[in-house]
Amino acid sequence: MDVKDIIKEENLVYSKSKVLTDTIMHYCPGCTHGVVHKVIAEVIEELGIQDKTIGVSPVGCAVFAYNYLDIDWQEAAHGRAPALATAINRLYPDKYVFTYQGDGDLASIGTAEIIHACNRGENIVVIFINNGIYGMTGGQMAPTTLIDMPTSTTPYGRKVDLNGYPLKITDLVAQLPGTCFVTRHSAHTPAAVRKLKKAVTKAFQNTRRKKGVSFIEVVSTCNSGWKLSPVESNNWMVEHMFPYYPLGDMKDE
Amino acid sequence: MAKIRGAIVVDVERCKGCSLCVVACPSSVIALAKEVNGKGYNYAYMVNPDACTGCVNCAIVCPDTVISVYKVKADAVA
């Protein structure tokens, strides 16, 4: 059978979600942001909530997320996405509200906002991209940077006596009574992406149960910041990130 | 010949040549082309189309969603 006989409209099993726009993403080749955008778009399409979903985009590499998903968006000040999402959710309780934040946004400048939004138990979804580095500004050390991991501001590696310990913010919010679903995923293999999609679906459904924040951390790569190829970055992540940031559900109520 | 046949279509101009699909493919169907697209990236293409089963793994890990997957039962059309 020729390839031309296979490539027909009726045989199509996978194509770009309609929720994703045709804009070419500005992310570096192999960036995990693209995969997570795609997963969110597919979940929104499958749940049929495109006109009821409001996203809050962060400051960081994902600042242009509003160009890529064809839903309503609002752009928050640096780290303030959970506060803005609180306001949107209280004004429009029938909408599905989610924030999309990186580790520089959520775990550093926005620590107060995320801790208090989680403690208040707002009915929002938080997608947290953790790549252990400030990707957008040139690969500086982030709160989540691993010990001995080289960055542009810690060229000899992060040292505990000078820079402290990597922050496990997901473990912190799992302790708070306002969260109902706290989980850590990755998006480096097809199986991992499928699991992530199930978790995102569950998180969006949780907002209807009014039980509190659904928090999904995605352990990600930053191949430009890590100075590795996309495939090598994934291998580095499995070898170094996963022992410190183990995957799995921390809380599911 | 495999009973289930698949094929992928890569949106060449959107592909950034990250090669995540190359390692995700269980049948070694995909490789990066020697030629480059308009942005200078070596885009992905089917180097071994006969082995494709349409498992969708490449499309799932593609960060830029440039891959469409087609799948057909070989005996149904042949």
Q: Which residue of B has its CA nearest to A223?
A: B18
Q: Which of residues 194-253 of A touch B (CB under 8 A)?
A: 194, 229-231, 234
pLDDT value of position B2: 52
* CATH class of residue range A28-252: alpha beta
Tell me: pLDDT of A103 over 60.
yes
d(CA A218, CA A21): 22
Q: Which of residues 25-84 of A touch B (CB under 8 A)?
A: 25, 27-35, 38
**Domain boundaries in chain A?**
28-252
Q: How close are the terminal C-alpha atoms of chain A, in Å?
A: 51
pLDDT value of position B76: 56
Average pLDDT over residues A196-221: 95
Query: Do strands B30-36 and A248-252 pair parallel, antiparallel, or not at all (unpaired)?
Result: unpaired
Residue contact A188–B7, C-beta within 8 A:
no
CB nearest to B61's CB, from A12, A15, A189: A189
Average pLDDT over residues A159-166: 95
The reply to whether A2 touches chain B by the CB within 8 Å rule is no
The structure tokens listed for B75 are 């005996």
Tell me: pLDDT of B1 over 70.
no
ipTM entry = 0.91
Q: Where would I find the beta strands (DSSP E) of chain A? A: 12-14, 53-57, 72-75, 96-102, 125-130, 179-186, 213-219, 248-252
pLDDT tens digit sequence for B11-68: 999 999 999 999 999 999 999 999 999 999 999 999 999 999 999 999 999 999 999 9
CB nearest to B69's CB, from A13, A31, A38: A13
**What percentage of residues in chain B have a pLDDT greater than 90?**
86
Average pLDDT over residues A10-36: 94
The reply to whether A5 touches chain B by the CB within 8 Å rule is yes
Residue contact A33–B63, C-beta within 8 A:
yes
The structure tokens listed for B17 are 């040549």
Higher per-residue pLDDT: B77 or B26: B26
- Tell me which chain A residues have a C-beta less than 8 angstroms from the C-beta of B20: 30, 230-231, 234
Tell me: pLDDT of A67 over 80.
yes
d(CA B60, CA A50): 21
Tell me: pLDDT of A113 over 70.
yes
d(CA B56, CA B9): 11
pLDDT value of position B74: 77
Tell me: pLDDT of A6 over 80.
yes
Pick the CATH number of B4-77 from 3.40.50.720, 3.40.50.300, 3.30.70.20, 3.50.50.60: 3.30.70.20
Dihedral of alpha carbons A169, A173, A175, A181, sign: negative
**Domain boundaries in chain B?**
4-77
Q: Min CA distance, A12 vs chain B (Å)? A: 4
- Average model confidence (pLDDT) for chain A? 94
Average pLDDT over residues A197-220: 95
